[in-house]
Amino acid sequence: MSLLPTAMINKADAAQRRQHSYDEGEITKKRSVCTHCSVGCGVVAEVQNGVWIGQEPSFDHPFNLGSHCAKGASVREHGHGDKRLKYPMKKVAGEWQRISWDQAIDEIGDQMLAIRESAGPDSVYWLGSAKFNNEQAYLFRKFAAFWGSNNVDHQARICHSTTVAGVANTWGFGAMTNSYNDIHNSKCIFIIGANPAEAHPVSLQHILRGKERGGKVIVVDPRFSRTAAHADHYIRIRPGADIPFVWGMIWHMFQNGWEDEQFINQRVYGMDEIRAEVAKWTPDEVERVTGVKEADVFQAAKTMYEHKPGTVVWCMGITQHTVGNSNTRALCILQLVLGNMGVSGGGTNIFRGHDNVQGATDFGVTSNSLPGYYGLSQDAWEHWARVWDVDYNWIASQFDQASYEELNGSPVSPMFTNGITVSRWIDGVLEDPENITQKDILRAMVLWGHAPNSQTRGPEMKAAMEKLDLLVIVDPFPTVSAVMNDRQDNVYLLPAATQFETYGSLTSSNRSVQWREQIMAPLFESLPDHNIIYRFAEKFGFADQLCKHIAVNDGEPLIEDITREYNRGMWACGYTGQTPERLKLQLANLHTFNKTTLKAEGGPCDGEFYGLPWPCWGTAEMKHPGTHILYDTSIPVAEGGSPFRARFGVEREGQNLLAEGSWTAGSEIEDGYPEFTSDMLKELGWWNDLTAEEKAEAEGKNWKTDLSGGIQRVAIKHGCAPYGNAKARAIVWQFPDPVPIHREPLYTPRRDLVAEYPTYEDRRNFYRLPTRYGSIQAQDFSQEFPLIMTSGRLVEYEGGGEETRSNPWLAELQQDMFIEINPADANNAGIRDGRQVWVEGPEGGAVKVMAMVTPRVERGVVFMPFHFGGHYQGEDLKDKYPEGTAPYVRGESCNVVFTYGYDSVTAMQETKVSLCRVRPA
């Protein structure tokens, strides 16, 4: 029955009014963003009496046009939350006990303060999350700083840290350069080490639209993935041989003169060294190392040359390697060779993972930087102390006052040294204290929105969890952390609210900043993350400093005030123009944005790009539209144009690092130029363009540290980019491998290649820990463990999967953990499809999973998804969950078998190549 007789309804709003309504109460619509991946799909929720009763397609939304994948189409289940952690709990003598929030904060806080007293602040590890919104991520990093440690990190370390490092060091910023929507304009879509059909399904809408408009799709992957099923050209590659493959393509390009000479001369530094390395990768050698035939490599190179602009897409298949940083740089170089950068349809479209992993990275939930990529130098700390309006010396006093590392021969405070990475926290617990460059080992671990089963070396992680004094888990679900260890005491579970129970901004993969509305109040006794951060700050006595300029209402720091605070400090990557007011205005006018260009056409946001993609320069008053396509020199900086960033100096070995003969449209400096400082403004005669107030603030500052925004405003007024105009660099001279070179994985079956392409030497100190390379590769495991093991995603689940496996609509679709194995390998091992098998790894881990016999993987390669957890080496851990919280589907974590191995720049974990053997169970 409709609510009103038909005759009473005006025809024009009939659709609006004829809402289903089974209870009394007005139905309101709330706009949020899916929390499952970085595409940033809009969600429309219908709410009645505080209950989320319906989910509608957000068809006005520029990113998804109403579409969802299985996960996005099921987010309303969050409103049920049957399997949620419902109240704070504590494990006592092996039993879970319900406790109050006050008791939890008090007991945890007292123990942490005691650890701080005896072992120093660095013995507590604050592991944050890409599930935070931007405000929570920012507040979390600030909180860790006030606690006095750089032992803070999040999932970006294990998903795209190598991208951020490799790409930022090539041309300035470590992020996706274009957007999903912009792929409509691509004439070639080159996808390597990525399976967006499962990991970013809505991106396929844009990719297939590009394909239907004539774009050629090339997929390079060890598996014939669901993405490969839609490719024009699929190329199977041996896992861990990406650099030889890319060099093989470029070899053909150089051979045939397919490179963009003008682009390289004007905008690229160091291509000659690349030429020298590429020359070694003849078609024969490429085939020997990668397994790919010359014809395939040639065809891929030719297609990219003939179909410009082309875009390059990559994900974990590229990043999660010991040579991950080199992999990402090789792909940047491919685009530089072709001149595909800074153009619509081109770029490096690096698909990030979690919904806000880009934002959490930008806000520095990392052990090597403060928010905004300012790093950990004294200048960086002084900048943020000014933004926070707290005494720099007070912050410094919160840190361990001793020194454990040296910089240029003098001791340096832990305040300025990189903390332990999330990928290695277990070594921070298990390593001999003598070998760790901080006061003591880790004694307390806070896993705040993190799935432990997404990390390698499961058995060692179990041991680490058991060795800790204190284990704290903050999450909407108990997570695998609650059950994978045999601790009997001192484990705390604190229920966090999901992003549908709070509000704020997030940054999608394409750097667009979106605003979420709150759909419903936090369920059960859960609290939003920023409330929990505040409670800990109160306990530690620095809540007033933490929220000095942030209103706190009933224990909740005001989100909008946090946004405004980061707007005051995030100059270095242009997060200064995205005020709450501008973001909310865009949210109310989604329909005005063009679905390909992302530009608002008319309406109150006219001329702005959707989400004001960073950099969105200057203060909000400048009304910068955001930057849709990075490094696009065809439009003025004021309209979203930009050159490559001058980040690496102006000259090296007599060669000019600045751009030559290339500048953004309308630039008054018609050549390269360095980054802007107050002195540079004076030299240019532009100083008097600043107002008196701006002058007072800008004196002695640069474009990153001038809190007035005057330097940025004046640079842009003259058509210049605040960060300068330089060349991208093909060689990164500070990295272990300035030119990306091939190195065999630690666990390689190709012993014949180890001597020629060895890994690195072991290191004494890397992010505070000794790190092994050569000593592992020296051992031959390939006889006992003959199969290459790789891992990846399924469309139904996300990350460690606890949330999605607790959603019955999703769980029903994937009920068994499995391993893909080629029919030949299965027959050789006596394995039948659908039967249970043991998968055993060289470090002793073993999992019991179902065999899926399929030619999707080639002979010698097996694949497992990483979303499962809740079983451990053959045992179902259901009874170890607090009552009623065990996910519907549980299974073995493939990371129990995955092994040691870390990227040489960022300590990214190696999950894409290891070895194993499989036998019937």
- Kindly list the residues in this chain that would bind another protein in the complex (CB under 8 A): 1-2, 6, 11, 14-15, 18-22, 54-57, 59, 65-74, 76-77, 197-198, 201-202, 204-205, 208-209, 211-213, 224, 226-227, 229-230, 234, 595, 795-796, 808-810, 812-813, 854-856
Say how many C-beta atoms besides its own lie within 10 A of residue 466's C-beta. 14
Q: Which amino acid is at 892?
A: E
Provide the token pair at 497: 């609210």
379-413 burial code (b ≥16 CB/10 A, e <16): ebbebbbebbebeeeebbebbbeebbeeeeeeeeb
- Looking at the Cβ atoms of 136 and 227, the one nearer to another protein is 227
CA proximity to 179, closest of 584, 645, 611, 799: 611
Exposure on the CB side of residue 89, measured as CA atoms within 13 A: 23
The distance of closest approach from Cβ of residue 600 to another protein in the complex, given in angstroms and rounded to an integer, is: 15
Q: Which amino acid is at 615?
A: P
- Looking at the Cβ atoms of 171 and 868, the one nearer to another protein is 868
Query: Tell me, what DSSP letter sits at residue 644?
Result: B
Provide the token pair at 272: 């000659």
The distance of closest approach from Cβ of residue 767 to another protein in the complex, given in angstroms and rounded to an integer, is: 37
Cα→Cα distances 291→241, 242, 249, 280, 501, Å:
9, 11, 14, 16, 49
The distance of closest approach from Cβ of residue 10 to another protein in the complex, given in angstroms and rounded to an integer, is: 12
- Looking at the Cβ atoms of 42 and 709, the one nearer to another protein is 42
CA proximity to 832, closest of 806, 811, 813, 854: 854
The distance of closest approach from Cβ of residue 54 to another protein in the complex, given in angstroms and rounded to an integer, is: 8
- Looking at the Cβ atoms of 126 and 797, the one nearer to another protein is 797
- Looking at the Cβ atoms of 27 and 707, the one nearer to another protein is 27
Chain mean position to CA 17: 41
- Looking at the Cβ atoms of 228 and 484, the one nearer to another protein is 228
Chain mean position to CA 786: 32
Provide the token pair at 297: 């490599």
- Looking at the Cβ atoms of 1 and 755, the one nearer to another protein is 1
The distance of closest approach from Cβ of residue 817 to another protein in the complex, given in angstroms and rounded to an integer, is: 18
- Looking at the Cβ atoms of 228 and 629, the one nearer to another protein is 228
- Looking at the Cβ atoms of 205 and 589, the one nearer to another protein is 205
- Looking at the Cβ atoms of 510 and 664, the one nearer to another protein is 510
The distance of closest approach from Cβ of residue 712 to another protein in the complex, given in angstroms and rounded to an integer, is: 35
Contact between 182 and 629 (Cβ < 8 Å) = yes
The distance of closest approach from Cβ of residue 1 to another protein in the complex, given in angstroms and rounded to an integer, is: 5
- Looking at the Cβ atoms of 21 and 782, the one nearer to another protein is 21
The distance of closest approach from Cβ of residue 75 to another protein in the complex, given in angstroms and rounded to an integer, is: 8
Exposure on the CB side of residue 860, measured as CA atoms within 13 A: 12
The distance of closest approach from Cβ of residue 496 to another protein in the complex, given in angstroms and rounded to an integer, is: 24
Provide the token pair at 833: 């499809």
The distance of closest approach from Cβ of residue 807 to another protein in the complex, given in angstroms and rounded to an integer, is: 8
Sort 621 into a burial class: Cβ within 10 Å, 0-12 / 13-18 / 19+: exposed
Answer whether the bond into residue 309 is a cis peptide, omega within 30°.
yes
- Looking at the Cβ atoms of 56 and 389, the one nearer to another protein is 56
The distance of closest approach from Cβ of residue 604 to another protein in the complex, given in angstroms and rounded to an integer, is: 20
Q: Are strands 787-792 and 861-865 parallel, antiparallel or unpaired?
A: parallel
- Looking at the Cβ atoms of 92 and 229, the one nearer to another protein is 229
Q: State the Cα–Cα distance between residues 183 and 208, nearest whole angstrom.
A: 9
Exposure on the CB side of residue 218, measured as CA atoms within 13 A: 24
Q: State the Cα–Cα distance between residues 382 and 388, nearest whole angstrom.
A: 10
Contact between 87 and 97 (Cβ < 8 Å) = no
The distance of closest approach from Cβ of residue 877 to another protein in the complex, given in angstroms and rounded to an integer, is: 22
Chain mean position to CA 802: 19
- Looking at the Cβ atoms of 635 and 813, the one nearer to another protein is 813
The distance of closest approach from Cβ of residue 209 to another protein in the complex, given in angstroms and rounded to an integer, is: 6
- Looking at the Cβ atoms of 70 and 646, the one nearer to another protein is 70
- Looking at the Cβ atoms of 55 and 366, the one nearer to another protein is 55
The distance of closest approach from Cβ of residue 888 to another protein in the complex, given in angstroms and rounded to an integer, is: 8
The distance of closest approach from Cβ of residue 808 to another protein in the complex, given in angstroms and rounded to an integer, is: 5
Say how many C-beta atoms besides its own lie within 10 A of residue 175's C-beta. 24
Exposure on the CB side of residue 825, measured as CA atoms within 13 A: 27
> Given CA atoms 478, 479, 480, 481 in this order, what sign does their dihedral have?
negative
Instruction: Please report, in angstroms and rounded to a whole number, the separation of the first and last CA atoms in the chain.
Output: 57
Chain mean position to CA 522: 26
CA proximity to 192, closest of 144, 231, 139: 231
The distance of closest approach from Cβ of residue 22 to another protein in the complex, given in angstroms and rounded to an integer, is: 5
Long-range contact list for 102-111, CB < 8 A, 24+ apart?
Answer: 104/492, 104/494, 105/535, 105/536, 105/538, 105/539, 106/539, 107/492, 108/470, 108/472, 108/492, 108/536, 109/536, 109/539, 109/540, 111/444, 111/469, 111/470, 111/490
Give the strands of the sheet with 875-876, arranged side by side: 875-876, 870-872, 891-892
- Looking at the Cβ atoms of 179 and 677, the one nearer to another protein is 179
The distance of closest approach from Cβ of residue 3 to another protein in the complex, given in angstroms and rounded to an integer, is: 9
Q: State the Cα–Cα distance between residues 579 and 620, nearest whole angstrom.
A: 7
